[in-house]
């Protein structure tokens, strides 16, 4: 498949999945149950604030925040790697920012600072990565803006292969596909969490945080 045809195939797949997600309710309770077993006893949790139709982690993240756990959420700047801010309030109280009305906290840390930790902030123990779809090898189909690839991809700030932390891909069960057309810059996760359970990645070491 040529680069042009691969890009066209990805665009068509994104459109199909987004259309299907318009009828989704986020399955917050199901994802909270599955992902609770992936939260380590120590360290921060790097997650995301779901858009409409995305797998919704609000229930889990509000519970973690209420129990005093450190939760980091992405802050986006077009064309740049993600930065991260700390969740200091209920998820629904976060301000909605930009074209896509993403709920974002105040930016605080770069990805290297968040993952490794600083004098004032604990290191990350697990990363929950949203995706439109995942392949059995952990390859991710994102929304196409490149934020996660610039941050955690092979050419990003903190490649998943170099970080001593689990990267758990999050999508609905029917969005785990036979193939998603991985490019050299695309990140891959160590395990996939769906609304029906946890799925190991072929050829990977699995999700240590979930064992």
Domain boundaries, the chain: 1-200
Contacts of 138 (CB under 8 A, 6+ apart): 169, 188, 189, 190, 191, 192, 201, 202, 204
46 is known to lie in a ligand binding site: no
Q: What is the pLDDT of residue 83?
A: 98
Q: Partners of 170 in the beta sheet?
A: 130, 193
- 35 within 8 A of 168, measured Cβ to Cβ: yes
144 is known to lie in a ligand binding site: yes
What's the rounded mean pLDDT across residues 43-53?
96
142 is known to lie in a ligand binding site: yes
140 is known to lie in a ligand binding site: yes
What's the rounded mean pLDDT across residues 14-34?
96
Q: What is the pLDDT of residue 203?
A: 64
Say what the pTM is.
0.93
Two structure tokens written together for 75: 């802050």
Q: What is the pLDDT of residue 192?
A: 97
Q: What is the pLDDT of residue 204?
A: 57
147 is known to lie in a ligand binding site: yes
| pLDDT per position as a tens digit, 24-33 | 999 999 999 9
146 is known to lie in a ligand binding site: yes
CATH number of 1-200: 3.40.50.10420
What's the rounded mean pLDDT across residues 179-197?
91
Q: What is the pLDDT of residue 132?
A: 97
pLDDT(1) > 60: no
């Amino acid at each position: 498949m040529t680069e042009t045809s691969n890009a066209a195939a990805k665009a068509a797949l994104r459109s199909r999945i987004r259309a299907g997600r318009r009828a989704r309710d986020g399955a917050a309770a199901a994802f909270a149950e599955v992902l609770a077993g992936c939260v380590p006893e120590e360290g921060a949790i790097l997650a995301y604030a779901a858009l409409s139709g995305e797998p919704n982690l609000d229930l889990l993240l509000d519970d973690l925040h209420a129990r005093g756990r450190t939760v980091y959420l992405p802050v986006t700047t077009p064309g740049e790697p993600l930065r991260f801010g700390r969740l200091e309030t209920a998820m629904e109280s976060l301000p909605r920012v930009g074209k896509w009305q993403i709920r974002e906290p105040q930016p605080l840390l770069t990805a290297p600072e968040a993952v490794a930790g600083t004098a004032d902030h604990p290191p990350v123990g697990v990363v929950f990565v949203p995706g439109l779809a995942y392949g059995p090898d952990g390859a991710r189909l994102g929304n196409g803006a490149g934020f996660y690839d610039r941050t955690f991809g092979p050419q990003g700030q903190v490649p998943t292969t170099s970080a001593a932390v689990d990267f758990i891909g999050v999508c609905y069960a029917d969005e785990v596909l036979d193939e998603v057309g991985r490019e050299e810059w695309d990140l891959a996760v160590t395990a996939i969490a769906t609304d029906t359970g946890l799925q190991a990645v072929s050829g990977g070491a699995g999700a240590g945080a979930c064992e």
